[in-house]
């Protein structure tokens, strides 16, 4: 079960990113859980400066833009 977090202080693209990941999880039937983390502290913890950022099991895999659909699929299928 992958634990996926989308970091960002309530920007529109962060919501879109979380939605995209949730949709992809549903499509693939992947074992994963996605949630938004809007705490500013989270950005310090993960040393992230551009949002939205995607964190999977504690590791930052992407930051600064909305990920593309096939990127999301490759994270989920690892």
Q: Report, as residue numbers or ranges, the catalytic residues.
A: 11, 14
Number of neighbouring beta carbons within 10 Å of residue 18:
20
Tokens of 12: 């529109």
Nearer to other proteins, 27 or 74 (CB): 74
Tokens of 25: 């999880």
- Answer for which of 3, 28, 57, 64 binds other proteins (CB under 8 A) is 64
- Answer for which of 29, 41, 70, 77 binds other proteins (CB under 8 A) is 41
Contact 35, 18 (CB under 8 A): yes
Q: Which residues bind other proteins (CB under 8 A)?
A: 8-12, 40-41, 43-44, 46-51, 53, 60-65
């Amino acid at each position: 079960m992958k634990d996926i977090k989308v970091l960002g202080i309530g920007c529109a693209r962060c919501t879109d990113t979380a939605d995209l990941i949730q949709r992809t999880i549903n499509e693939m039937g992947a074992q994963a859980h996605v949630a938004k983390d809007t705490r500013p502290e989270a950005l310090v913890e993960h040393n992230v400066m551009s949002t939205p950022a995607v964190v999977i099991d504690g590791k930052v895999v992407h930051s600064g833009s909305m990920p593309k659909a096939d990127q999301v699929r490759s994270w989920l299928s690892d």
